[in-house]
Amino acid sequence: MRDLAGKTAFVTGGAGGIGSAMGRAFAEAGANVMLADIEANTLHDAVARLYPTHPTVRGVVCDVTDYESVESAAQATVAAFGKVHIVCNNAGVGGSGGIDDISLTAWRWVIDVNLMGVVHGVRAFLPHLKAHGEGGHFVNTASMAAFLPGTGFGAYTATKFAVVGITEALAMELAPHGIGASVLCPGWVNTRILESARNWPKDYGPPPTRELGPLADRIAELVKTGMEPSAVASLVLKAVRENELYIFTHPHMRPPLERRFDKILAAYRQLGAAPQEKAR
């Protein structure tokens, strides 16, 4: 989808951080943009910042954990712009503890937002993208934690692993329909991810307490000094235009990623050659 002029992009988690930056990038490329977010006031402010220079930007309140809410947002986007071409399932929350101390309720919340939010976005928009026949693209936000699980937040890591798998499957299954898929795997980005509990649903019970200690302090510093969301959005725009499956952001994370792959290949080498390889 090299020419985005006149196309429509839908972005969850669009009120701030990476989502807001993606919305701006798509708008600057000439696309109509629907920003979706659970925070109504923040969403209003995000749209207000873009609207004066990009009057085809709109906003819709949306809770990605609720399929009916996502479906309603999809209908509102179609009603506003006629067709949707790019769906960015970007809304996400951070973990709230390691495997040994995270509550089952917190597990459910992280899964409902980070994983089911992507599932709901695909389910709500895919029939529409197939029906209009003009092609399209899904961008699903995962994390480098999907490849390098060293954050200490096991639930977060688990959901991001799943998002990578979903997107890889989508890329293969949707290619015949002219629909692409990219998985965004950012490293540390300067967002409010560590303040995720501000949107903790009341019906989930008391919110989790914020993590304390050296690891939590180190993560907070890495986030604060992380890449600016606008730089991430530029990489997303390029990936959509060039139909790139993987979007990585931090070159210095390549060496530990290669070490992980080396361990995987070493495990295979222990199996020896496959029978058909021995016969050659």
Catalytic residues: 156
3-state helix, strand, coil in the chain (%, to 5): 55, 15, 30
- Residues, the chain, total? 280
Structure tokens at 83: 């067709």
Per the CB < 8 A criterion, the answer to whether 73 and 34 are in contact is yes
Q: How far from chain centre, in Å, is Cα 262?
A: 27
All residues at 6 or more sequence positions from 121 whose CB lies less than 8 Å from its CB, including other chains: 10, 12, 64, 70, 87, 89, 138, 140
| Separation of alpha carbons 268 and 273, rounded Å | 9
DSSP 8-state symbol, 115: I
Taking CA atoms, 257 is separated from 148, 152, 253, 262, in Å, by: 7, 17, 6, 9
Give the C-alpha separation, 202 to 200, whole Å: 6
Amino acid at 53: T
Nearest to 140 by CA among 247, 57, 235, 277: 247
- What the block records as the tokens of 249 is 């952001």
∠ at Cα 192 (188, 194), nearest 5°? Answer: 80
